[in-house]
Structure 1
């Protein structure tokens, strides 16, 4: 067969045919379902083995970290085995700073967290003082050796004018 005629037929076939015999296979991309349901079932099975019971009515859980941040769960699921001193908290947790949660969590703070809260309050006050001080305040503090003005310049000016007038008259 003629190579030019064969190339022409292949070009026509490629332009007209989208699929069929001789075309390249394409993989089908399937979206996977979220695996939270599977994870939840596995978690429930593990919790049943530990003999934990659900605790209803928990609105939020805050876990205080060593770096001063708080791991905050809103509407978590809480299970507990009090006899084994085992608690399971699961849900979506967010790491937040202590300042974001301060008014609502004051009754939850322990001695370690109170110390970090004190440090936070001191640093906040220092920041506030620096912001209230005008930018040229440092220059004013350096000029302590310059004495304050006591005299009234207008009165001195008037005296000098009176003296010059008296000299002109004499």
Structure 2
């Protein structure tokens, strides 16, 4: 044993990093605070918002909360979003389609007969559609003239 030596044992403890779990409400509060600083205003009366993607899908918001700040060129859309195919939304969104979306729709319409030929998508033939519509067997103009006489 050595006298006079004062050896102190070193103990190194691993420190754990404290993990902070953020809730969605905390994030929403931060977002609302940031939007308030931008000076956004609520826009009322918006029934639906549709965002058209390049892949031919539509991000659809039904009864969203819409806010805008024209000075900051910022718009926010909050609410429940659904991703739908463009064909699911037809014909109700035809008046909302821009030139790019109309081109996508045209390409989609051209692709349907090709898929039907490959057996991927069933498509109704003209004969099947005619089963529901009766054939016209008489001329109504002549019948109305006969009734008038």
Calculate the TM-score normalised by the size of structure 2: 0.58
**Structure 1 residues not aligned, in runs of 5+:** 1-34, 134-170
Partner of 2:51: 63
Out of 71, 86, 89, which is 1:101 matched to? 89
Residue 47 of structure 1: aligned partner: 35
Higher helix residue share: 1
SS at structure 2 position matched to 1:104: coil
Aligned to 1:117: 105
CA distance in 1, matches of 2:90, 2:45: 22
Q: CA deviation at 1:127?
A: 4.2
Tell me the distance in 2 between the aligned counterparts of 1:43 and 1:122: 44
Q: Larger C-alpha radius of gyration, 1 or 2?
A: 1
Structure 1 residue 83, shift from structure 2 partner:
3.0
Q: Which residue of 2 aligns with 1:92?
A: 80
What aligned pairs does 1:151-162 form with structure 2 within 5 A after superposition? none
RMSD: 2.7
- Counterpart secondary structure, 1:67: coil
**RCO comparison, higher one (Cα < 8 Å, 6+):** 2
Matching residue of 2:5:
none
Structure 2 stretches of 5 or more lacking a match?
A: 1-22, 125-149
For residues 56 and 113 of structure 1, the distance between their equivalents in structure 2, rounded to whole angstroms, comes to 27
